[in-house]
Structure 1
């Protein structure tokens, strides 16, 4: 299995496990909330019945007991008659609930309590629970109540708990990811510099051997020797590329078209003649480039395009720009097998490859060199299975006089 796919499967497994834990927590909390809600309704019913007992009994001892039971209820409640007039309240804001007067006194003293507060509380209670109906002195009364502060807190607790856990996990993941990227960068840099060091000695030897062959066989103007020298110089460039990884390369202003054309001309003679190359677009756009590293970017994209083409095909490189955004666009289009839309981002992940012998590092390195070293962007602009793919490089434009608007 592809290492990236394996890592992705682990992520999905952990996410599924987290969802199961969260669902279990919510389910259990919901179960507790229902039990407490049933208990609170029972308390509200006891409180409602106590009101009926208070209004219909003359036994002082019994009334004292009933009042004690009533006052033990912690459920906020409001009692109204069929006309909607307030009769009693329980567990509301004491600074707004001056409602211990008789009904007659209450009607004359509305300014002594906050009527809007009662109406808001009553509307809220009506949304929460069905009322408890009583008949007192042959008059129907309605007892409305709402969840206690304890029950409300219990309802909110799992969401607060899960939010805290989620924030902690995000922080832990960010720290872990940052640490892992740092380790990866150290591995990249160490491997690259060691590769450059190892290549140095054989490259120097090859250059010396070429000079000896020229002298011994009088092959100064032999075209084969010229090609060998080109390849040795190419090896020098590769070693130079690896040596630059890990350090901030110096960017210089270059005409983008000329840089791209020089590399395409070098590359196309080294692949099958069944694949045609075309370079189009603006010839007047400048950008800050590090030639060895940018050639590496082009090489990886063109190799990727060649590998995507099965047999005969074509590769087109188009250069354009946007004057308003001050950007240069380099589009590399092939007529290969294409990339599924779901893999547009995945192709840049280390280890992702569709080739049996591939390492899955080419496009990952390419993205690193474009973003980290050239302050640009690279992404899959478009792709269709069976028809081809277009990769786009976005660079900052240095010259903005005559760019073509894309």
Structure 2
């Protein structure tokens, strides 16, 4: 299992654990809410029965006891008669009334005549609970009630709690990831620059040895010596690439077609002759490029294409542009094994590889060099298992005239 798959597995495990915790919290809160709701139903029934006893009893001592029980057991409630009119209420706003009074009486009692308030409360209570039936003053009545403030708060508390925890975890994860990426970048930059420094001495020595061999064996025109020089110059380019990591590279205007062609010509003679190469497109498209880094991008894509081809196959590089959007498109298509659609984004993650001896860094570095250094984009344009894959690079065009297709 590669590091990316291990990381993804840990993410799934932590997510599953978080879901278990959230489910447990919601389940326990639901259990408490049901018990408290049952208790409030009982309290509402006690209040309704106490109302009945108050209207039926003349014993003052007993009435005092009943009133005490009623006041201690009350929940917000409204009593209506058989005509639907409100006869009394409990636990609502005492500064409002449902009974029309004279302006002087309303002012004296410091209350407001607001029957709509009670109508709204009654409608809300009807939606919450079934009414309690009783008879008051020989009139069939219904007692409607609603959840207390405590029960209402308890219902929404777990969602508020989980939301706060989720926000905290997201902020903490973002901060941790940012810090980790910053540390990784510093390590990669330091390692790259040290690699470039270490390569400098042997490369200089190789160049000197090549010149010595030419002079000693009179091999100035030997094609093998020319290829050796090309490889040493390629090593110099590689060292230059590593030295540029971590610093902002200088972009210069170049013909995209010519830059890609130079590298394809170098690369194709160094792979199996069973793989054919084709380069097509507009030769006049101009973009801002840093050639050492951009060659690295093309190299990674071509190597990835070669590795995807089992035996005989072909690699096509097509360069096109959009005048309206002022963009340059570079499509690298192979006839390899293809990529599942679910892996289109995953292939650019550090550590992801399908090769036993791969590090899974090629496409990750490619994406970084395109996005961070060339202000472009790279993605899997299309892929089909068993038929091949097309990667697309998108760069800003610096071409003034209308692109044409060669």
* CA distance in 2: counterparts of 1:34 and 1:375, whole angstroms: 57
> Does structure 1 residue 323 correspond to structure 2 residue 323?
yes
Deviation larger for 250-259 or 92-101: 92-101
Contact 1:297 1:366 in 2 (8 A): yes
Cα 1:286–1:204 change in 2 (3 A) is same
Task: Give the structure 2 partner of residue 43 of structure 1.
Answer: 43
After TM superposition, give the deviation of residue 98 of structure 1 in Å: 5.3
Secondary structure at 1:352 match in 2: coil
> Does structure 1 residue 183 correspond to structure 2 residue 183?
yes
* CA distance in 2: counterparts of 1:150 and 1:227, whole angstroms: 84
* CA distance in 2: counterparts of 1:115 and 1:53, whole angstroms: 28
After TM superposition, give the deviation of residue 88 of structure 1 in Å: 1.1
Task: Give the structure 1 partner of residue 263 of structure 2.
Answer: 263
Aligned residues: 398
Instruction: Give CA-to-partner distance per residue, 1:227-255, whole Å, 9 cap, x none.
Output: 11111000000000000001000011111
Contact 1:79 1:143 in 2 (8 A): yes
* CA distance in 2: counterparts of 1:262 and 1:90, whole angstroms: 88
Task: Give the structure 1 partner of residue 356 of structure 2.
Answer: 356
Contact 1:322 1:404 in 2 (8 A): no
> Does structure 1 residue 167 correspond to structure 2 residue 167?
yes
Secondary structure at 1:143 match in 2: strand
After TM superposition, give the deviation of residue 400 of structure 1 in Å: 4.2
Task: Give the structure 2 partner of residue 139 of structure 1.
Answer: 139
Contact 1:326 1:400 in 2 (8 A): no
* CA distance in 2: counterparts of 1:378 and 1:221, whole angstroms: 41
Instruction: Give CA-to-partner distance per residue, 1:94-148, whole Å, 9 cap, x none.
Output: 23345598xxx99xxxx95322221211111111111111122332111111110
Secondary structure at 1:379 match in 2: strand
* CA distance in 1: counterparts of 2:326 and 2:166, whole angstroms: 40
* CA distance in 1: counterparts of 2:374 and 2:100, whole angstroms: 77
Deviation larger for 301-310 or 388-397: 388-397
User: Which consecutive unaligned segments of at least 5 residues does structure 2 have?
Assistant: none
Instruction: Give CA-to-partner distance per residue, 1:64-121, whole Å, 9 cap, x none.
Output: 22222222234111111122101111111223345598xxx99xxxx95322221211
Instruction: Give CA-to-partner distance per residue, 1:307-344, whole Å, 9 cap, x none.
Output: 00001111111112222322211111111000011111
Deviation larger for 68-77 or 47-56: 68-77
Deviation larger for 117-126 or 10-19: 117-126
* CA distance in 2: counterparts of 1:35 and 1:237, whole angstroms: 74
Contact 2:100 2:113 in 1 (8 A): no
Secondary structure at 1:4 match in 2: helix
Structure 1 length normalisation: TM-score? 0.95
Deviation larger for 221-230 or 132-141: 132-141
Instruction: Give CA-to-partner distance per residue, 1:25-73, whole Å, 9 cap, x none.
Output: 1111111111111111111111111111122222222222222222223
* CA distance in 2: counterparts of 1:32 and 1:278, whole angstroms: 70
After TM superposition, give the deviation of residue 258 of structure 1 in Å: 1.1
* CA distance in 2: counterparts of 1:400 and 1:133, whole angstroms: 85
Secondary structure at 1:318 match in 2: strand
Please show how residues 192-231 of structure 1 align to structure 2 within 5 Å.
192-231=192-231
Instruction: Give CA-to-partner distance per residue, 1:364-399, whole Å, 9 cap, x none.
Output: 110111111111111111111001111111111112
After TM superposition, give the deviation of residue 184 of structure 1 in Å: 0.9
* CA distance in 2: counterparts of 1:338 and 1:88, whole angstroms: 76
Contact 2:252 2:288 in 1 (8 A): yes
* CA distance in 2: counterparts of 1:100 and 1:54, whole angstroms: 25
* CA distance in 2: counterparts of 1:254 and 1:36, whole angstroms: 75
Task: Give the structure 2 partner of residue 19 of structure 1.
Answer: 19
Secondary structure at 2:338 match in 1: coil
Cα 1:42–1:81 change in 2 (3 A) is same
Task: Give the structure 2 partner of residue 33 of structure 1.
Answer: 33
Instruction: Give CA-to-partner distance per residue, 1:154-194, whole Å, 9 cap, x none.
Output: 11111111111101100110011001101110111011111
Contact 1:251 1:374 in 2 (8 A): yes
* CA distance in 2: counterparts of 1:398 and 1:167, whole angstroms: 43
Secondary structure at 1:237 match in 2: helix
* CA distance in 2: counterparts of 1:345 and 1:74, whole angstroms: 60
Structure 1 residue runs of 4+, over 6 Å off? none
Deviation larger for 235-244 or 130-139: 130-139
* CA distance in 1: counterparts of 2:383 and 2:97, whole angstroms: 69
User: Which consecutive unaligned segments of at least 5 residues does structure 1 have?
Assistant: none
Contact 1:89 1:99 in 2 (8 A): no
Secondary structure at 2:355 match in 1: coil
* CA distance in 1: counterparts of 2:100 and 2:151, whole angstroms: 27
Please show how residues 18-167 of structure 1 align to structure 2 within 5 Å.
18-97=18-97, 113-167=113-167
* CA distance in 1: counterparts of 2:61 and 2:203, whole angstroms: 109
* CA distance in 2: counterparts of 1:124 and 1:41, whole angstroms: 16
